[in-house]
Amino acid sequence: MSGKEPAPDATLQTQRKIQQEQDARDARDANAKQETKSDAQGKAVQAGARPHPERLSSQHLEKPGLEADLQLRPQFLAPDYRGSGKLEGFGTLVTGADSGIGRAVAPGPVWTPLNPADKAADEVVKFGQDTDMKRAAQPEELSPAYVFLASPVCSGYISGIVLPVTGSVGAI
């Protein structure tokens, strides 16, 4: 060893000290995030054109679950969205399967008749509350993701993508 290099024990101690400092910072950050999450508990995020239900009804449906039987109906009409009208009067089938371009949407919790058909009433009430948005999505909130992927103008250079629409950062 030359006289300028630290001894192996000194290097080890320095590295351990750096790791302990980083562990302490990580613990503080985790605690701060948990406190922020606790403060925001029950406050659903409303980021769309119209408000969406924060709490779901405590209801159980017999399978397969019919929309007509839901106390709280899914919102799927997206009244604030207006397309270009280019396809009015046409039937459209978008598959993408034959193009070799793999695109998909990976939704998080979405309010549909299947939810109260698959879960007990007390579980339905909590559906979606563990997302960062603190609520389940409505179908109309996911439809722009499909429109985006189906549009050659928006996604012409995108291939092999799974677009997560989960209500949480980094959920997938």
CB atoms within 10 A of CB 113: 18
Q: Specify the 3-state DSSP secondary structure of 50.
A: coil
Confidence band of 150 (pLDDT split at 50, 70, 90) = confident
Is 131 or 152 the better-scoring residue by pLDDT? 131
| Run of H or E residues at 27 | helix 8-39
Q: What is the pLDDT of residue 99?
A: 59
> Whole-model pTM?
0.60
Mean pLDDT for the chain? Answer: 81
How many CA atoms within 13 Å lie on the side-chain side of 118?
Answer: 7
| Residue 100 CA: distances (Å) to CA of 146, 158, 160 | 17, 12, 9
The full DSSP string for 57-116 is: ------TT--GGG-SS------TT----STTTT-------GGGT--EEEEE-SB--THHH
Give pLDDT tens digits for 6-47: 677 888 888 889 888 888 888 888 777 666 554 556 688 888
Rounded distance, CA 40 to CA 43, Å?
5
Rounded distance, CA 17 to CA 167, Å?
38
Q: What is the pLDDT of residue 62?
A: 86
Is 171 or 51 the better-scoring residue by pLDDT? 51
| Residue 172 CA: distances (Å) to CA of 36, 156, 169 | 22, 23, 8
